């Protein structure tokens, strides 16, 4: 992400910008980071500051592989919409990262059960004041083709906040096979892909548990979307 932001308009003709939002467990992220390392891929891992995700040893391991580390912030939802407290907390959490790794970019955690969108902080404050160069939703161009695994499948309708604000048309894919086909077809030249390491399982048992959880969560989310509209 930092590389993308720093490139400005000097981007390559074809590229994939890949980001991982580490919501649940640092261990899952580590597994995926290793797989990418094997394929020579560098991506960005955004960590929440919760106990299971903010694991300094793992964060440093992933950084050593050549991946970028980012901060998955949710301070406005954590402080229930108190902007002053939220920006103080943001500053503290930025320091937490800077003690253990480089930090240049951030990504909002779309806390589904909270009515606060932590990106709203930037209506009153500027993340650049914290030495940061980019925010994963706000610092990307509208011509990027955004693909996220939030919800079920790709770019699901059960998705409250995970899209680029103001961007309307986007390439549509349903399954991961479709996405692979689209990449191979060279029909579009850029891909901005967001993955959640906890959504990718390697055993049938893991998958079954995950589907049950998702089913419960998505029915809750659908209600929220209906209410807010």
CB nearer to Zn ion: pick between 182 and 197: 197
Nearer to Zn ion, 21 or 149 (CB): 21
Crossing angle (nearest 10°) for helices 56-64 and 26-38:
10
- Smallest gap from residue 184 Cβ to Zn ion (A): 29
The least CB distance from residue 23 to Zn ion, in Å, is: 4
Region at 66 (left for phi over 0; alpha for psi -120 to 50; beta for the rest): left
Point out which residues bind Zn ion (CB under 5 A): 21, 23, 109
**Structure tokens given for 55:** 């694991």
Assess contact for 73 and 107: CB atoms under 8 A: yes
Cβ distance to Zn ion smaller for residue 21 or 36: 21
How, if at all, do strands 68-73 and 134-135 pair? unpaired
183 or 214: whose CB is closer to Zn ion? 214
* Closest residue to Zn ion using C-beta atoms: 109
How far apart are CB 100 and Zn ion at their closest, in Å? 20
Reported as type and span, the H/E element at residue 212 is: helix 204-228
Q: How many CB atoms lie within 10 A of CB 191?
A: 18
Find the shortest distance in angstroms from Cβ 198 to Zn ion.
10
Which residue's CB is nearer to Zn ion, number 104 or number 109?
Answer: 109
Identify which of residues 188 and 201 has a Cβ nearer to Zn ion in the complex.
201
The residue among 110 and 145 lying less far from Zn ion, judged by its C-beta, is 110
Question: From the CB of residue 193, how many other CB atoms can be counted at a distance below 10 Å?
Answer: 18
Beta strand pairing call for 134-135 and 105-108: parallel
User: What CA dihedral angle connects 148, 154, 158 and 161, to 10 degrees?
Assistant: 20
Minimum CB separation of residue 111 from Zn ion in Å reads: 8
Over its C-alpha atoms, the chain yields an Rg (Å, rounded) of 17
The closest alpha carbon to 29, from 65, 58, 60, 71, belongs to 58
């Amino acid at each position: 992400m930092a590389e993308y932001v720093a490139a400005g308009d000097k981007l390559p003709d074809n590229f994939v910008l890949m980001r991982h939002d580490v919501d649940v467990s640092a261990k899952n992220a580590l597994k995926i980071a290793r797989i990418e390392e094997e394929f020579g891929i560098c991506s960005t891992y955004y960590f929440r500051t919760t106990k299971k995700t903010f694991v300094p040893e793992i964060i440093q391991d992933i950084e050593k592989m050549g991946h970028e580390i980012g901060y998955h912030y949710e301070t406005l939802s954590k402080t229930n919409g108190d902007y002053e407290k939220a920006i103080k907390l943001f500053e503290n959490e930025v320091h937490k990262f800077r003690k253990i790794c480089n930090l240049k970019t951030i990504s909002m955690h779309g806390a589904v059960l909270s009515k606060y969108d932590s990106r709203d902080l930037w209506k009153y404050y500027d993340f650049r004041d914290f030495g940061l160069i980019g925010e994963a939703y706000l610092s990307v161009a509208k011509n990027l083709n955004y693909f996220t695994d939030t919800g079920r499948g790709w770019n699901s309708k059960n998705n409250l906040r995970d899209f680029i604000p103001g961007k309307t048309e986007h390439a549509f894919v349903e399954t991961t096979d479709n996405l692979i086909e689209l990449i191979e077809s060279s029909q579009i030249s850029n891909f901005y892909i967001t993955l959640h390491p906890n959504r990718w399982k390697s055993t049938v048992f893991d998958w079954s548990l995950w589907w049950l959880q998702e089913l419960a969560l998505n029915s809750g989310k659908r209600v929220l979307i209906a209410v807010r509209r």
